């Protein structure tokens, strides 16, 4: 029997797209347009403004409310709490059974929802799913791809040593009890994905890049200090798992050692990018 292809639900899917933003006036419209360009678009779009203090963002948010009407709900937060709080607020306000996350400076492939939702539906549907992302390019994707054949389970051990779930790739069941930790400003997504899997939920991974980001996956600013902060934050995630007795001390030690190896590699790669960035600025 042939595995199922893209979900067919007319022109909408039972999904709420949650887009947090903070001073993203130059990119937010592109993100929202990518949602409405979906062949099976979400039934609800929630933009959560994390207390942006620039006039350009407010003008754009007001324009989106006029342009899309009831199709886009804008939530304006009184104080900046970081991406965790903004995503949680959108999650709480969602009316649909599935949540798809998108960052304000990224964009979805137009077949993302149609191709990914079959992984979430049915008696064996996943609680969480994701896919890789591409950088500065849109992947040419066959809408008739057999996603059931390509998708694979993502196990805890795989996720511990490498975060394979970029946030704008992820769809989750809205009914999950776990949420983003508002005390974390970095690696808050990684912490949540791990805790979802460690609670026994099923994750499926589709190895097709259905989201485009317009910046490098790490070290975009060329600052090793930023990479160091990311590595420290990831180690903090592991310490939290140890404290909650979700991983053992030997596992924690192995992850920390691997983290420093990864950090050294990323610093080296970031340094090789600096001359290229400088050349692009001068051209």
Cβ-based neighbours of 8, under 8 Å, separated by 6 or more:
40
Residue 216's pLDDT band, with cuts at 50, 70 and 90, is low
Q: Which of 5-19, 62-76, 168-182, 188-202 has the lowest mean pLDDT?
A: 5-19
pLDDT at 259: 86
Confirm if 56 and 25 have CB atoms less than 8 A apart: yes
The proportion of the chain whose per-residue pLDDT surpasses 70, expressed as a percent, equals 87
For residue 197, pLDDT over 50 is answered with: yes
For residue 257, pLDDT over 60 is answered with: yes
The predicted model gives 18-41 an average pLDDT of 95
pLDDT at 144: 78
What's the pTM value of the predicted model, to 2 decimals? Answer: 0.88
The predicted model gives 21-49 an average pLDDT of 95
**Cα atoms in the Cβ-side hemisphere of radius 13 Å centred on 116:** 37
pLDDT at 9: 43
pLDDT at 283: 46
Q: Which of 118-122, 133-137, 279-283 has the lowest mean pLDDT?
A: 279-283
pLDDT at 273: 58
Q: Which of 116-120, 145-149, 219-223 has the lowest mean pLDDT?
A: 219-223
Mean pLDDT of the chain: 87
Residue 228's pLDDT band, with cuts at 50, 70 and 90, is confident
Q: Which helix (H) or strand (E) holds 124?
A: none
Beta bridge partners of 171: 100, 129
Residue 224's pLDDT band, with cuts at 50, 70 and 90, is very low
Q: Which of 20-34, 39-53, 225-239, 258-272 has the lowest mean pLDDT?
A: 258-272
pLDDT at 269: 73
Q: Which of 7-11, 13-17, 118-122 has the lowest mean pLDDT?
A: 7-11
The CA distance from 71 to 250, in Å, is 49
The CA distance from 237 to 274, in Å, is 29
Residue in this structure with the two tokens 């999904």, named with its chain if needed: 15
- Whole-Å CA distances, 273 to 16, 219, 222, 231, 269: 37, 9, 7, 19, 7
Strand 203-205 vs strand 152-153: parallel, antiparallel, or unpaired? antiparallel
């Amino acid at each position: 029997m042939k595995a199922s292809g893209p979900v067919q639900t007319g022109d909408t899917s039972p999904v709420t797209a949650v887009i947090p933003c903070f001073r993203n006036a130059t990119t937010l419209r592109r993100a929202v347009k990518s949602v409405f360009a979906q062949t099976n678009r979400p039934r609800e779009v929630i933009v959560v403004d994390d207390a942006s203090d620039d006039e350009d963002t407010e003008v754009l948010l007001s324009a989106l409310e006029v342009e899309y009407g009831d199709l886009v709900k804008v939530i304006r937060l009184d104080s900046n709490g970081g991406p965790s709080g903004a995503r949680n607020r959108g999650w709480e306000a969602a009316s649909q059974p599935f949540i798809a996350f998108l960052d304000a400076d990224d964009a979805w492939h137009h077949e993302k929802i149609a191709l990914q939702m079959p992984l979430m539906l049915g008696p064996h549907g996943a609680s969480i799913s994701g896919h890789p992302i591409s950088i500065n390019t849109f992947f040419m994707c066959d809408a008739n791809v057999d996603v059931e054949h390509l998708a694979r389970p993502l196990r805890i051990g795989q996720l511990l040593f490498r975060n394979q779930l970029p946030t704008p790739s992820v769809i989750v069941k809205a009914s999950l009890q776990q949420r983003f930790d508002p005390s974390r400003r970095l690696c808050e997504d990684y912490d949540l994905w791990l805790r979802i899997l460690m609670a026994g939920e099923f994750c499926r991974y589709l190895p097709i890049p259905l989201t485009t980001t317009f910046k490098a996956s790490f070290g975009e600013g060329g600052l090793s200090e930023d990479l160091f902060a990311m590595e420290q934050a990831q180690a903090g995630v592991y310490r939290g798992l140890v404290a909650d007795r979700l991983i053992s001390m030997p596992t924690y030690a192995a992850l920390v050692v691997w983290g420093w190896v990864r950090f050294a590699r990323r610093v080296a790669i970031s340094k090789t990018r600096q001359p290229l960035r400088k050349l692009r600025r001068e051209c």
